[in-house]
Amino acid sequence: MSTVTDILAKIDTKISIILDSPDDIASYKLGQKSVNKSQILEYLLKAKETYQAIAVNEPYEDIRHIALDVNEFGEDISETIGDAVE
């Protein structure tokens, strides 16, 4: 299952591709059928706003390093980067 940040990265990639080659999103009509590819960017931007709102409300903890240690009295003095020093 993709995380919200993974989904946002995919959306950003798609938006970047569209901005690099805007000719790929041209709208066209063949007979009675029409294709409005220009709406793709609009939908991606709406999806990005939605997922950014979800990311703000999602609990997140970034632990890059854990230091596990016990002092000579057997007390746990483990810490993670970002912990408040007591």
Domain boundaries defined on the chain: 4-80
The predicted pLDDT at position 45 comes to 93
The predicted pLDDT at position 78 comes to 74
Beta strands in 1-86 (DSSP E): 28-30, 33-35, 66-67, 79-80
Q: Is the pLDDT of residue 86 over 70?
A: no
The two tokens of residue 10 are 């995919």
Which SS3 state, helix, strand or coil, does residue 3 take?
A: coil
Q: Is the pLDDT of residue 58 over 70?
A: yes
pLDDT digits (tens, 9 = 90+) for 1-55: 578 889 999 999 999 988 888 777 777 788 888 877 778 888 999 999 999 999 8
